[in-house]
Structure 1
Protein backbone atom coordinates (compact mmCIF):
# COMPACT_ATOMS: atom_id res chain seq x y z
CA UNK A 1 0.00 0.00 0.00
CA UNK A 2 1.36 3.41 -0.99
CA UNK A 3 1.61 5.89 1.86
CA UNK A 4 -0.28 9.18 1.47
CA UNK A 5 1.89 11.89 -0.06
CA UNK A 6 1.34 14.10 2.99
CA UNK A 7 2.91 11.53 5.32
CA UNK A 8 5.87 11.03 3.02
CA UNK A 9 6.40 14.77 2.80
CA UNK A 10 6.16 15.10 6.59
CA UNK A 11 8.69 12.33 7.12
CA UNK A 12 11.12 13.66 4.53
CA UNK A 13 10.82 17.21 5.91
CA UNK A 14 11.45 15.88 9.42
CA UNK A 15 14.53 13.96 8.28
CA UNK A 16 15.90 17.14 6.74
CA UNK A 17 15.29 19.02 9.99
CA UNK A 18 17.18 16.28 11.87
CA UNK A 19 20.00 16.41 9.32
CA UNK A 20 19.50 12.73 8.52
CA UNK A 21 19.88 11.28 5.05
CA UNK A 22 18.10 7.95 4.57
CA UNK A 23 17.72 5.91 1.40
CA UNK A 24 14.36 5.84 -0.36
CA UNK A 25 14.05 2.14 0.52
CA UNK A 26 14.45 2.97 4.22
CA UNK A 27 11.85 5.74 3.98
CA UNK A 28 9.47 3.24 2.36
CA UNK A 29 10.02 0.83 5.26
CA UNK A 30 9.37 3.53 7.85
CA UNK A 31 6.11 4.45 6.12
CA UNK A 32 5.20 0.76 5.87
CA UNK A 33 5.81 0.45 9.62
CA UNK A 34 3.44 3.36 10.27
CA UNK A 35 0.76 1.81 8.06
CA UNK A 36 1.11 -1.55 9.84
CA UNK A 37 0.96 0.15 13.24
CA UNK A 38 -2.19 1.98 12.17
CA UNK A 39 -3.89 -1.25 11.07
CA UNK A 40 -2.99 -3.20 14.20
CA UNK A 41 -3.79 -0.31 16.48
CA UNK A 42 -7.42 -0.39 15.38
CA UNK A 43 -7.80 -3.80 17.04
CA UNK A 44 -5.05 -4.08 19.64
CA UNK A 45 -4.62 -0.55 21.03
CA UNK A 46 -0.82 -0.56 20.74
CA UNK A 47 -0.52 3.21 21.11
CA UNK A 48 -2.77 6.01 22.32
CA UNK A 49 -1.65 8.09 19.34
CA UNK A 50 -4.04 7.28 16.54
CA UNK A 51 -3.54 10.14 14.10
CA UNK A 52 -1.12 9.03 11.32
CA UNK A 53 0.65 12.40 11.19
CA UNK A 54 1.22 12.31 14.94
CA UNK A 55 2.55 8.76 14.64
CA UNK A 56 5.12 10.09 12.16
CA UNK A 57 6.21 12.91 14.46
CA UNK A 58 5.77 11.49 17.96
CA UNK A 59 6.88 7.94 17.19
CA UNK A 60 9.09 7.75 14.11
CA UNK A 61 10.83 11.14 14.12
CA UNK A 62 11.08 11.11 17.91
CA UNK A 63 12.86 7.75 17.73
CA UNK A 64 15.19 8.95 14.97
CA UNK A 65 16.44 11.89 17.03
CA UNK A 66 18.80 9.52 18.85
CA UNK A 67 20.10 7.70 15.75
CA UNK A 68 23.43 9.61 15.69
CA UNK A 69 24.12 8.54 19.28
CA UNK A 70 23.62 4.79 18.83
CA UNK A 71 26.84 2.77 18.93
CA UNK A 72 28.13 -0.79 18.76
CA UNK A 73 26.89 -3.93 17.06
CA UNK A 74 24.45 -5.22 19.70
CA UNK A 75 21.47 -3.12 20.79
CA UNK A 76 18.66 -3.90 23.22
CA UNK A 77 15.54 -1.76 23.43
CA UNK A 78 13.77 -2.35 26.73
CA UNK A 79 10.10 -1.60 27.25
CA UNK A 80 9.96 -1.19 23.49
CA UNK A 81 6.15 -1.20 23.17
CA UNK A 82 5.41 -1.18 19.43
CA UNK A 83 9.13 -0.89 18.66
CA UNK A 84 10.05 2.58 19.86
CA UNK A 85 12.79 3.47 19.38
CA UNK A 86 14.39 0.07 18.71
CA UNK A 87 12.52 -1.06 15.62
CA UNK A 88 12.78 2.38 14.04
CA UNK A 89 16.54 2.40 14.66
CA UNK A 90 16.83 -1.09 13.16
CA UNK A 91 15.05 0.07 10.02
CA UNK A 92 17.08 3.26 9.70
CA UNK A 93 20.49 1.70 10.36
CA UNK A 94 20.45 -2.00 9.47
CA UNK A 95 23.38 -4.29 10.14
CA UNK A 96 23.48 -4.56 13.92
CA UNK A 97 21.84 -7.15 16.13
CA UNK A 98 18.72 -5.66 17.74
CA UNK A 99 16.70 -7.24 20.53
CA UNK A 100 13.28 -5.72 21.31
CA UNK A 101 12.04 -6.48 24.83
CA UNK A 102 8.51 -6.07 26.15
CA UNK A 103 6.34 -7.99 28.59
CA UNK A 104 3.11 -7.29 26.66
CA UNK A 105 2.17 -10.20 24.45
CA UNK A 106 0.09 -8.30 21.89
CA UNK A 107 2.88 -5.78 21.35
CA UNK A 108 5.45 -8.55 20.87
CA UNK A 109 3.15 -10.24 18.34
CA UNK A 110 2.94 -6.97 16.45
CA UNK A 111 6.73 -6.62 16.54
CA UNK A 112 7.24 -10.11 15.15
CA UNK A 113 4.80 -9.41 12.33
CA UNK A 114 6.56 -6.09 11.59
CA UNK A 115 9.96 -7.81 11.53
CA UNK A 116 8.59 -10.45 9.15
CA UNK A 117 6.65 -8.16 6.82
CA UNK A 118 9.44 -5.58 6.60
CA UNK A 119 12.07 -8.25 6.00
CA UNK A 120 14.34 -7.08 8.80
CA UNK A 121 17.48 -9.13 9.41
CA UNK A 122 19.17 -9.51 12.79
CA UNK A 123 16.13 -8.19 14.69
CA UNK A 124 14.12 -10.24 17.18
CA UNK A 125 11.38 -9.52 19.68
CA UNK A 126 11.12 -11.31 23.00
CA UNK A 127 8.30 -11.28 25.52
CA UNK A 128 9.89 -10.99 28.91
CA UNK A 129 10.36 -8.89 31.99
CA UNK A 130 13.57 -6.91 31.61
CA UNK A 131 15.24 -8.41 34.69
CA UNK A 132 14.87 -11.90 33.20
CA UNK A 133 16.61 -11.07 29.91
CA UNK A 134 20.13 -12.41 29.45
CA UNK A 135 23.01 -11.17 27.33
CA UNK A 136 25.35 -8.23 27.03
CA UNK A 137 24.78 -5.24 24.77
CA UNK A 138 26.91 -2.37 23.49
CA UNK A 139 23.93 -0.02 23.53
CA UNK A 140 20.63 -0.06 25.41
CA UNK A 141 17.75 2.24 24.59
CA UNK A 142 14.69 3.04 26.67
CA UNK A 143 11.91 5.50 25.84
CA UNK A 144 9.31 6.51 28.44
CA UNK A 145 9.88 3.18 30.15
CA UNK A 146 10.50 3.84 33.84
CA UNK A 147 12.51 5.96 36.24
CA UNK A 148 16.28 5.82 35.86
CA UNK A 149 16.55 3.97 39.15
CA UNK A 150 14.10 1.30 38.01
CA UNK A 151 15.37 0.87 34.47
CA UNK A 152 18.99 0.57 35.58
CA UNK A 153 18.03 -1.62 38.51
CA UNK A 154 16.09 -3.99 36.28
CA UNK A 155 18.27 -3.91 33.16
CA UNK A 156 21.69 -2.68 34.21
CA UNK A 157 23.10 -6.21 34.00
CA UNK A 158 22.58 -6.10 30.22
CA UNK A 159 24.99 -3.21 29.63
CA UNK A 160 28.48 -4.18 28.45
CA UNK A 161 31.37 -2.81 30.54
CA UNK A 162 32.11 -0.13 27.93
CA UNK A 163 28.51 0.12 26.71
CA UNK A 164 26.23 3.13 26.55
CA UNK A 165 22.69 3.46 27.90
CA UNK A 166 20.49 5.92 25.98
CA UNK A 167 17.53 7.01 28.10
CA UNK A 168 14.94 9.17 26.36
CA UNK A 169 13.17 11.57 28.70
CA UNK A 170 10.92 14.61 28.48
CA UNK A 171 11.90 17.30 30.97
CA UNK A 172 15.37 17.02 32.43
CA UNK A 173 14.94 14.52 35.31
CA UNK A 174 17.13 16.06 38.00
CA UNK A 175 15.42 14.11 40.78
CA UNK A 176 15.89 10.81 38.92
CA UNK A 177 19.56 11.52 38.36
CA UNK A 178 20.06 12.05 42.08
CA UNK A 179 18.53 8.61 42.72
CA UNK A 180 20.54 6.82 40.03
CA UNK A 181 22.02 3.53 41.29
CA UNK A 182 25.66 3.32 42.29
CA UNK A 183 27.85 1.97 39.53
CA UNK A 184 26.41 4.21 36.82
CA UNK A 185 27.16 7.77 35.83
CA UNK A 186 25.72 10.39 33.51
CA UNK A 187 28.06 11.07 30.62
CA UNK A 188 25.99 13.66 28.76
CA UNK A 189 22.54 15.22 28.76
CA UNK A 190 21.51 16.23 25.25
CA UNK A 191 18.47 18.42 24.50
CA UNK A 192 16.47 17.04 21.57
CA UNK A 193 14.17 18.86 19.18
CA UNK A 194 11.61 16.65 17.48
CA UNK A 195 10.23 18.19 14.26
CA UNK A 196 6.54 18.98 14.72
CA UNK A 197 6.51 18.25 18.44
CA UNK A 198 6.46 20.86 21.18
CA UNK A 199 7.81 20.37 24.67
CA UNK A 200 11.11 19.40 26.18
CA UNK A 201 12.94 16.24 25.17
CA UNK A 202 16.28 15.04 26.51
CA UNK A 203 18.61 12.16 25.80
CA UNK A 204 20.68 10.95 28.74
CA UNK A 205 23.86 9.06 27.92
CA UNK A 206 24.65 6.79 30.87
CA UNK A 207 27.64 4.49 31.30
CA UNK A 208 29.10 2.27 33.96
CA UNK A 209 31.17 4.15 36.50
CA UNK A 210 34.83 3.14 36.21
CA UNK A 211 36.05 0.98 39.06
CA UNK A 212 38.58 2.71 41.30
CA UNK A 213 42.10 1.58 40.60
CA UNK A 214 43.68 -0.54 43.25
Structure 2
Protein backbone atom coordinates (compact mmCIF):
# COMPACT_ATOMS: atom_id res chain seq x y z
CA UNK A 1 0.00 0.00 0.00
CA UNK A 2 2.79 2.43 0.86
CA UNK A 3 4.40 2.04 -2.56
CA UNK A 4 1.09 2.58 -4.34
CA UNK A 5 0.30 5.63 -2.23
CA UNK A 6 3.78 7.15 -2.65
CA UNK A 7 3.56 6.70 -6.43
CA UNK A 8 0.12 8.29 -6.42
CA UNK A 9 1.31 11.25 -4.35
CA UNK A 10 4.21 11.80 -6.76
CA UNK A 11 1.79 11.69 -9.71
CA UNK A 12 -0.27 14.40 -7.98
CA UNK A 13 2.87 16.51 -7.38
CA UNK A 14 2.70 15.91 -3.62
CA UNK A 15 5.57 14.86 -1.35
CA UNK A 16 5.69 11.02 -1.08
CA UNK A 17 6.72 11.47 2.57
CA UNK A 18 3.08 12.43 3.24
CA UNK A 19 2.23 8.75 2.84
CA UNK A 20 3.00 8.08 6.53
CA UNK A 21 0.25 10.21 8.14
CA UNK A 22 -2.20 9.30 5.37
CA UNK A 23 -1.65 5.59 6.07
CA UNK A 24 -2.15 6.25 9.79
CA UNK A 25 -5.55 7.73 8.93
CA UNK A 26 -6.33 4.79 6.64
CA UNK A 27 -5.43 2.25 9.33
CA UNK A 28 -7.74 3.98 11.80
CA UNK A 29 -10.54 4.13 9.23
CA UNK A 30 -10.16 0.43 8.36
CA UNK A 31 -10.20 -0.52 12.06
CA UNK A 32 -13.32 1.52 12.90
CA UNK A 33 -15.00 0.44 9.68
CA UNK A 34 -15.07 -3.18 10.82
CA UNK A 35 -17.38 -2.20 13.69
CA UNK A 36 -19.16 0.98 12.61
CA UNK A 37 -19.57 0.61 8.83
CA UNK A 38 -18.27 4.10 8.05
CA UNK A 39 -17.63 3.46 4.36
CA UNK A 40 -18.76 0.90 1.79
CA UNK A 41 -15.15 0.37 0.68
CA UNK A 42 -13.90 -2.40 3.00
CA UNK A 43 -10.48 -3.28 1.59
CA UNK A 44 -7.67 -0.93 2.76
CA UNK A 45 -5.88 -1.44 -0.57
CA UNK A 46 -8.98 -0.17 -2.37
CA UNK A 47 -9.17 2.77 0.03
CA UNK A 48 -5.80 4.07 -1.19
CA UNK A 49 -7.16 4.91 -4.62
CA UNK A 50 -10.88 5.31 -4.02
CA UNK A 51 -10.56 7.41 -0.85
CA UNK A 52 -7.09 8.91 -0.36
CA UNK A 53 -5.93 9.65 -3.91
CA UNK A 54 -9.43 10.50 -5.10
CA UNK A 55 -9.70 13.07 -2.29
CA UNK A 56 -6.23 14.47 -2.92
CA UNK A 57 -6.80 14.93 -6.66
CA UNK A 58 -8.31 18.33 -5.76
CA UNK A 59 -5.39 19.53 -3.63
CA UNK A 60 -4.24 22.27 -5.99
CA UNK A 61 -7.65 23.95 -5.72
CA UNK A 62 -7.15 24.50 -1.99
CA UNK A 63 -3.46 25.44 -2.22
CA UNK A 64 -4.18 29.21 -2.30
CA UNK A 65 -6.47 28.82 0.73
CA UNK A 66 -3.85 26.90 2.70
CA UNK A 67 -1.21 29.50 1.87
CA UNK A 68 -3.26 32.24 3.53
CA UNK A 69 -4.81 30.17 6.32
CA UNK A 70 -8.22 30.10 4.66
CA UNK A 71 -11.24 28.11 5.81
CA UNK A 72 -12.82 25.14 4.01
CA UNK A 73 -16.06 23.40 5.02
CA UNK A 74 -16.33 19.79 3.88
CA UNK A 75 -20.06 19.09 3.66
CA UNK A 76 -21.48 15.63 4.33
CA UNK A 77 -17.93 14.45 4.80
CA UNK A 78 -18.81 10.97 6.08
CA UNK A 79 -15.59 9.54 7.49
CA UNK A 80 -13.67 12.74 6.67
CA UNK A 81 -13.24 12.60 2.91
CA UNK A 82 -11.82 14.71 1.35
CA UNK A 83 -11.33 16.98 4.38
CA UNK A 84 -8.94 14.91 6.51
CA UNK A 85 -6.55 13.95 3.67
CA UNK A 86 -6.51 17.60 2.54
CA UNK A 87 -5.80 18.78 6.09
CA UNK A 88 -2.91 16.30 6.29
CA UNK A 89 -1.22 17.49 3.09
CA UNK A 90 -2.00 21.23 3.34
CA UNK A 91 -0.82 22.67 6.68
CA UNK A 92 -2.46 26.04 7.29
CA UNK A 93 -5.76 25.02 5.73
CA UNK A 94 -8.52 25.35 8.34
CA UNK A 95 -10.97 22.51 7.74
CA UNK A 96 -14.42 22.04 9.26
CA UNK A 97 -15.86 18.55 8.77
CA UNK A 98 -19.66 18.83 8.65
CA UNK A 99 -21.44 15.52 9.30
CA UNK A 100 -24.75 14.71 11.00
CA UNK A 101 -24.11 10.99 11.59
CA UNK A 102 -22.99 10.53 15.20
CA UNK A 103 -20.82 7.44 14.62
CA UNK A 104 -18.94 9.13 11.79
CA UNK A 105 -18.50 12.32 13.83
CA UNK A 106 -17.07 10.31 16.75
CA UNK A 107 -14.64 8.56 14.42
CA UNK A 108 -13.46 11.86 12.96
CA UNK A 109 -12.90 13.43 16.39
CA UNK A 110 -10.73 10.46 17.34
CA UNK A 111 -8.89 10.66 14.00
CA UNK A 112 -8.14 14.37 14.44
CA UNK A 113 -6.87 13.69 17.96
CA UNK A 114 -4.62 10.81 16.94
CA UNK A 115 -3.32 12.58 13.84
CA UNK A 116 -2.66 15.84 15.70
CA UNK A 117 -4.68 17.92 13.24
CA UNK A 118 -5.04 21.16 15.20
CA UNK A 119 -6.48 23.14 12.26
CA UNK A 120 -9.37 20.74 11.64
CA UNK A 121 -12.57 20.30 13.63
CA UNK A 122 -15.82 18.33 13.47
CA UNK A 123 -19.24 19.97 13.30
CA UNK A 124 -21.88 17.34 14.09
CA UNK A 125 -24.76 18.97 12.26
CA UNK A 126 -27.01 18.78 9.26
CA UNK A 127 -25.59 21.02 6.56
CA UNK A 128 -28.61 23.32 6.30
CA UNK A 129 -28.65 23.76 10.10
CA UNK A 130 -24.94 24.58 10.39
CA UNK A 131 -25.05 28.14 11.71
CA UNK A 132 -21.78 29.71 10.56
CA UNK A 133 -23.02 31.87 7.67
CA UNK A 134 -20.39 33.68 5.63
CA UNK A 135 -17.52 32.02 7.51
CA UNK A 136 -15.87 30.04 4.72
CA UNK A 137 -13.65 30.79 1.75
CA UNK A 138 -14.73 27.53 0.14
CA UNK A 139 -17.08 24.62 0.62
CA UNK A 140 -16.56 21.21 -0.89
CA UNK A 141 -18.57 18.03 -1.26
CA UNK A 142 -17.65 14.63 -2.61
CA UNK A 143 -20.44 12.44 -3.99
CA UNK A 144 -22.97 14.26 -1.81
CA UNK A 145 -25.71 15.68 -4.03
CA UNK A 146 -26.43 17.69 -7.15
CA UNK A 147 -24.84 21.13 -7.52
CA UNK A 148 -28.17 22.95 -6.96
CA UNK A 149 -28.84 20.95 -3.79
CA UNK A 150 -25.33 21.50 -2.41
CA UNK A 151 -25.80 25.25 -2.86
CA UNK A 152 -29.27 25.14 -1.35
CA UNK A 153 -27.97 23.32 1.74
CA UNK A 154 -24.59 24.96 2.17
CA UNK A 155 -24.34 28.12 0.06
CA UNK A 156 -25.04 30.25 3.15
CA UNK A 157 -21.66 29.23 4.57
CA UNK A 158 -19.67 31.06 1.89
CA UNK A 159 -18.24 34.49 2.54
CA UNK A 160 -18.28 37.08 -0.28
CA UNK A 161 -16.02 35.79 -3.04
CA UNK A 162 -16.20 32.25 -1.67
CA UNK A 163 -16.59 29.25 -3.97
CA UNK A 164 -18.03 25.75 -4.08
CA UNK A 165 -15.39 23.19 -5.09
CA UNK A 166 -17.56 20.25 -6.15
CA UNK A 167 -15.97 16.90 -6.93
CA UNK A 168 -17.94 15.19 -9.68
CA UNK A 169 -17.62 12.12 -11.88
CA UNK A 170 -18.69 12.74 -15.48
CA UNK A 171 -19.10 16.37 -16.49
CA UNK A 172 -22.45 17.37 -14.86
CA UNK A 173 -23.88 19.57 -17.61
CA UNK A 174 -27.51 19.08 -16.52
CA UNK A 175 -26.67 20.12 -12.95
CA UNK A 176 -24.78 23.15 -14.23
CA UNK A 177 -27.78 24.17 -16.35
CA UNK A 178 -29.99 23.92 -13.24
CA UNK A 179 -27.87 26.17 -10.98
CA UNK A 180 -30.07 28.47 -8.88
CA UNK A 181 -30.31 32.14 -9.74
CA UNK A 182 -27.36 34.14 -8.45
CA UNK A 183 -24.77 31.40 -8.94
CA UNK A 184 -22.44 30.80 -11.89
CA UNK A 185 -19.81 28.27 -12.95
CA UNK A 186 -16.25 29.58 -12.82
CA UNK A 187 -14.54 26.45 -14.13
CA UNK A 188 -15.13 22.81 -15.06
CA UNK A 189 -11.85 20.91 -15.23
CA UNK A 190 -11.05 17.21 -15.60
CA UNK A 191 -9.07 15.72 -12.72
CA UNK A 192 -6.79 12.70 -12.97
CA UNK A 193 -6.82 10.27 -10.06
CA UNK A 194 -3.76 7.96 -10.09
CA UNK A 195 -4.81 4.34 -10.48
CA UNK A 196 -8.48 5.13 -11.16
CA UNK A 197 -9.83 4.96 -14.69
CA UNK A 198 -13.13 6.63 -13.77
CA UNK A 199 -13.90 10.13 -15.01
CA UNK A 200 -13.52 12.96 -12.49
CA UNK A 201 -14.24 16.68 -12.78
CA UNK A 202 -13.82 19.66 -10.51
CA UNK A 203 -16.66 22.17 -10.81
CA UNK A 204 -16.00 25.61 -9.31
CA UNK A 205 -19.13 27.68 -8.61
CA UNK A 206 -19.40 31.19 -7.17
CA UNK A 207 -21.94 33.95 -6.78
CA UNK A 208 -22.69 36.04 -9.86
CA UNK A 209 -20.66 39.24 -9.90
CA UNK A 210 -18.04 38.09 -7.39
CA UNK A 211 -15.68 36.36 -9.83
Q: If the TM-score is normalised by the length of the shorter chain, which range does it land in?
A: over 0.9
Matches within 5 A, 1:1-214: 7-21=1-15, 24=17, 26-70=18-62, 71-72=64-65, 73-135=70-132, 136-210=135-209
Q: CA deviation at 1:182?
A: 1.1
CA-atom RMSD in angstroms: 1.1
Q: How does the TM-score come out when normalised to structure 1?
A: 0.92
SS at match of 1:16: helix
Unaligned runs of 5+ in 1: 1-6
Distance 2:73 2:144 in 1: 13
Using the TM superposition, give the Cα deviation of residue 27 of structure 1 relative to its aligned residue in structure 2, in angstroms.
2.2
**TM-score, with length taken from structure 2:** 0.93
Counterpart CA distance in 2 for 1:74 and 1:199 is 29
Give how far 1:20 is off: 1.9
Report the Cα distance in structure 1 between the residues aligned to 2:177 and 2:53, rounded to whole angstroms.
29
How big is the shift at 1:134?
A: 2.3
State the aligned residue count: 203
CA distance in 1, matches of 2:19, 2:131: 32
- Residue 120 of structure 1 aligns to a residue in which SS? coil
Q: Is there any run of 5+ residues in structure 2 with no aligned partner, and where?
A: none
Deviations 1:109-162 (A, max 9, x none): 110000001111121111111011122101111100111111100100111111
